[in-house]
Amino acid sequence: MKVIIIYFLLITTVFATKLIDGSYSVMENVIRGKKWRTMVEIKVKNNEISWVNVDMVTKDGKLMSQDKKDLKVVLKDTGGINPYAELPKEYMKKLKEVNNYKISRVDTIAGATVVCNKFNKMTTFLIKKSEEGKTGEFEGWFH
C-alpha cells in the first residue's frame, strides 16, 4: 500500500507541475559583435506566462531594439522584420494556440536565426526556473 501511495505522489508531482508567479530573466554570458548580449525575460501570473521579451543589451544597458543604427542592420538582414518585436508576439500567439507553456520552439525568422535559437533555449531555461519557483536574474551559456 505504501508503494502505491509513493507512486501516486510521484506521478502527481510530475504531471502537476505549475509555473510559479514572478519575474524571470536571463542574459547570455557571451558578447556578440563585441558589444551585444541576448536577454530574455518572462513574467508569470496565475500560473501562466503573461509577458515575454527578448532583446540584445550592451554592458551599459543599451537595448538593441532602441538603437536605430544597429537595429537598421538587423532589419536589413531580416527583410524588415524586427525579431525583438516579432519573437515575443509569435511566442504568445503559439502559447495560446497550443495551450501548453512547455512549447519548445518558435519559428525562426529569416536572417535572425541566432537570436531565434537563443530565444528558444533561453525561454525553456526560464520556464524550468519558474517551475522551480526560482525568480530573479540569471546568466548562462546558450549555444
Name residues of the chain where pLDDT drops below 50.
Answer: 2-15
How do residues 76-101 score in pLDDT, each as one tens digit? 999 999 999 999 999 999 999 988 88
CB-based contacts of 69-73 (< 8 A; 24+ apart in sequence): 70/36
Cell numbers at 124, concatenated: 525553456
Those residues with Cβ within 8 angstroms of residue 46's Cβ, 6 or more apart along the chain or in another chain? 21
**What is the pLDDT at residue 11?**
44
φ and ψ at 36, to 5 degrees?
A: -105, 140
88 closest CA partner among 61, 60, 143, 126: 126
3 state SS of 1: coil
Summary mean pLDDT of the chain: 85
Note the helical H segments in 16-137: 68-77, 83-98, 113-132
12 CB neighbour count, 10 Å cutoff: 9
What's the predicted TM-score (pTM) here?
A: 0.82
Pairing of strands 37-45, 22-28: antiparallel
| Domains detected in the chain | 19-140 (3.90.1010.20)
